[in-house]
Amino acid sequence: MSNELVMLVAEDDPNDVTLLLHALKRNGLGARAEIVPDGDQVIKYLRGEGPYADRARHPFPDLVLLDLKMPLVSGVEVLERLRREDECTEVPVVMLSGSALEADVERAYQLGVKTYFTKPHSVSELSDLLRLIVAYWSQSQRPRATGVTEHWVQDSQTLHQTPPA
């Protein structure tokens, strides 16, 4: 089992995705970024639906980096859904948004984000922030592969918990 931190990154701006991947590579961080373009894909990824069903290729994340303003399903809507779904309530979510509006920050915390960052304006600042996030979450105590979340299977659009072997 790898100790690599798996981050599910929800980001709709291709330029921001490129900067994020560059910053991760530049830092040589022990993190794997699984990129999805919108909130709907976040939910599908976490449920292991459709193209994300193969957990060897798309492992359940240790952390979600969530953008606030996205098409289809916003970051706020994702947070609302995550808190209603048993298999997702414990996944830590870090908001990384272009919005610094106090109302957005407050709403995100009300819905359970662990922390909220405004997107940095330079690759250097983004690199520093990602280094901090990866270091913190890599060293934090949290359930890993033996947790309940790996034992969820999808059966006819309904999720059922299966006991660990």
pLDDT in tens, 49-63: 999 999 999 999 999
* 23 φ, ψ (degrees, to nearest 5): -65, -40
* The token pair that represents 136 in the structure block: 């913190």
pLDDT of residue 71: 83
Neighbours of 93 (CB within 10 A): 25
Residue 54: which residues within 8 A CB-CB, separation 6 or more? none
In the structure, how many helices (H) and strands (E) does the chain have? Answer: 5, 7
| Residue 103: band (very low, low, confident or very high) from pLDDT cuts 50, 70, 90 | very high
Domain boundaries 5-161, corresponding CATH code? 3.40.50.2300
Bridge partners for 96 per DSSP = 117
pLDDT tens for 109-161 read 999 999 999 999 888 899 899 999 988 888 876 654 433 333 333 332 333 33
* pLDDT at residue 107 tops 70: yes
What is the reported pTM?
A: 0.80
**For range 2-18, the mean pLDDT:** 87
Distance CA 102, CA 8 (A): 25
Distance CA 145, CA 59 (A): 9
pLDDT of residue 25: 83
* pLDDT at residue 3 tops 80: no
Q: H helices within the chain, ranges in order?
A: 14-27, 39-47, 75-82, 102-110, 123-139
Kindly report which listed range (23-27, 44-48, 141-145, 153-157) carries the lowest average pLDDT score: 153-157
Closest CA to 69 of 31, 114, 119: 119
pLDDT of residue 50: 94
pLDDT of residue 142: 62
